[in-house]
Structure 1
């Protein structure tokens, strides 16, 4: 392996390969995630994007084994998370933490903030007594809250403040990676920017890797270094954010971007309307799962499942008509 290849490999914190998650359905298995692969690099933010029903939340939960994956690999510094026992996985949950979508239901309403944050510290035996109290106060300060808030209960806070508590809880065990599952979608628009900026600041200060799951491409564009676009359990396009946003190649990515609000009044975009709704994973289309809504679909799209093809270094897309749709 050359020095450049060694450096590239060492920069990968999490390598997900052919992740599949099936759920039992009335007429057979439902593939919520169908062969998803991506790399999360150290100290970078990867955006996992798609409409509701695309499987992105299931990907995040599978990585933490909150739902058990059906097959595939998730190599965390060379260790396959999916092959670990429950006891072995517990140690890795310290290094992989999650911030959930609903900041209220994810916090125990019967516990004070100090106990919510301190619970993880106790579980992993990181500190106790005065040291633990000081760590909790410092965490609250880092996320923009007062140390005095440690004595309060979740219901005494606004939604944005509760999400900050959730972030502090995730940071309490000093993780290497945070999986943020739609962390701002349940918040008012006025609060969303504050939480996004908070995540970005903490990521830069701590050198964290972040898997940021979202349906909002404008948020992902602002926050993420890399992007993976999912549709009905499969990856449609992936690559550095600048390349994907400036030169999107998959018809689905182009449609999503055309519907995303643009702050620049001089930047004109033509809206690409998709026909119909996202199909049910109970009965996905044959071949390319996007073909039933794709404005460029041809008969061959129903027969061939397109593989991800590399367009430029790191930029990939899955479409049999890529060379025609430049």
Structure 2
């Protein structure tokens, strides 16, 4: 799936295997998507679906086994660390655990200052002013700069992590489960902050989450992953209101509903996620799919367009009618 115009980020045939191709773990398998300038794409799936691995591949924290990653029109798939360095400013990550990602021995001004120093962005008074600006940008006070990470709540630490990512003025943020480690009471505050920053700074984002409510709130488009493969890609509204893949429908059915009058969550998925060391032949979802037929064991479904801006990887042309009957 592609976006209109030249995408900021474009991924084609991306794969990542840990170990040998025959006996290793196939964490990501032939994944393609793009992210437009100012767009937020959500990557959704169960634990073990390959979401976080893709996030690290996009920023070249991991090297891809196959495929290409183009950022700002340049293929960064095989660039060495020296060639990647100028690009690091424009693509940053917000990690899941805000405490583990912050050095507990450094004060906040040192944590934020490291990024500025690494890229030579500010010195002296300008450096101190930029640190104060970053803290205020994420809803904290300039006075917080002299504190240590353990002196903050989880939500505040995640705000500091966001400030660190923004310090180098990136165009793309990869946010890996940015609120899953936080109390429910502060999750909405951090999500609202990310929304505000996106509008204010014109950021593009890849938001990794298992929470479909979070993804629908934050994202323009959603890409659904299962065992390292894309099952469905479409606009957030279309995927949530009109899911075309049995796996997407199962995820939506299992999601808790805040409305007490809404239908109760259902568990449509049977069994456990297969091992990525020995994925099923054909369609990787077939062993848990209620609509699987014999051909699903031998055919790897391609991601094909079923409506404008909406693509699904399923060989059954009648899948929509079967899911709604």
Q: TM-score, normalised by structure 2?
A: 0.95
SS at match of 1:8: coil
Gaps of 5+ in 1: none
Pick aligned residue for 1:67 from 62, 73, 79: 62
Answering whether residue 45 of structure 2 is matched by residue 50 of structure 1, we say: yes
SS at match of 1:83: coil
Partner of 2:138: 143
Change beyond 3 A, Cα 1:26–1:91: closer
SS at match of 1:120: helix
Partner of 2:71: 76
Conserved 8 A contact 2:244-2:319: no
Q: Partners in 1 of 2:136 and 2:156 — Cα distance?
A: 12
Q: Deviations over 1:194-241 (max 9, x none)?
A: 111111110111000010000000111111111000000000000111
Partner of 1:9: 5
Shift of 1:66: 1.0
Q: Deviations over 1:160-190 (max 9, x none)?
A: 1110000000000000000000111111111
Partner of 2:30: 35
Answering whether residue 184 of structure 2 is matched by residue 186 of structure 1, we say: no
Answering whether residue 223 of structure 2 is matched by residue 228 of structure 1, we say: yes
Describe how 1:197-212 pairs up with structure 2 within 5 A: 197-212=192-207
Q: Partners in 1 of 2:83 and 2:317 — Cα distance?
A: 43
Describe how 1:62-211 pairs up with structure 2 within 5 A: 62-211=57-206
Partner of 1:253: 248
Answering whether residue 237 of structure 2 is matched by residue 237 of structure 1, we say: no
Q: Partners in 2 of 1:93 and 1:67 — Cα distance?
A: 14
Shift of 1:272: 4.8
Q: Partners in 2 of 1:27 and 1:74 — Cα distance?
A: 24
Conserved 8 A contact 1:25-1:282: no
Change beyond 3 A, Cα 1:322–1:201: farther
Conserved 8 A contact 2:305-2:312: yes
Q: Partners in 2 of 1:147 and 1:138 — Cα distance?
A: 7
Q: Partners in 2 of 1:167 and 1:182 — Cα distance?
A: 13
Q: TM-score, normalised by structure 1?
A: 0.95
SS at match of 2:318: coil
Q: Partners in 1 of 2:257 and 2:121 — Cα distance?
A: 45
SS at match of 2:106: coil
Shift of 1:81: 1.2
Conserved 8 A contact 1:249-1:322: no
User: Which region of structure 1 is more displaced relative to structure 2, 58-67 or 172-181?
Assistant: 58-67
Q: Partners in 1 of 2:208 and 2:119 — Cα distance?
A: 26
